[in-house]
């Protein structure tokens, strides 16, 4: 079992968490002005890198807060976690 460090609660087992998609995706300022193709791209197109990836997670069975994490998709290991609104730590390729 993986241990994930919630930036608010500390280390907890992975069963307490839920994946919530790619991190650092900005919502369009004026969604009504987007074409169908642009809206479709915003909703469904995400990177899926092999290696370091910035992701959003939620601590469902704890504080219920969202946070970001840098995870290596090759090994499934978490390198770091940080609060939403903070930038990814330097030195990561996420």
Which residues of 1-94 form beta strands (DSSP E)? 3-6, 10-13, 17-22, 52-59, 66-72, 77-83
CA distance 3 to 20: 17
Q: What is the pLDDT of residue 1?
A: 84
Q: Token pair for residue 5?
A: 């460090």
Spatial CB neighbours of 26, under 8 Å, sequence gap ≥ 6: none
pLDDT tens over the chain, length 94 residues:
899 999 999 999 999 999 999 999 989 999 999 999 999 999 999 988 999 999 999 999 999 999 999 999 999 999 999 999 998 877 544 4
């Amino acid at each position: 079992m993986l241990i994930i460090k919630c930036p608010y609660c500390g280390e907890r087992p992975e069963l307490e968490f839920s994946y919530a998609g790619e991190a650092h995706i900005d919502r369009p300022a004026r969604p009504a002005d987007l074409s169908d193709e642009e809206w479709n791209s915003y909703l469904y197109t995400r990177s899926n890198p092999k290696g370091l990836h910035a992701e959003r997670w939620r601590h469902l069975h704890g504080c219920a807060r969202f946070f970001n994490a840098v995870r290596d998709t090759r090994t499934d290991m978490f390198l770091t976690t940080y609060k939403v609104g903070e930038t990814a730590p330097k030195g990561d390729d996420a």
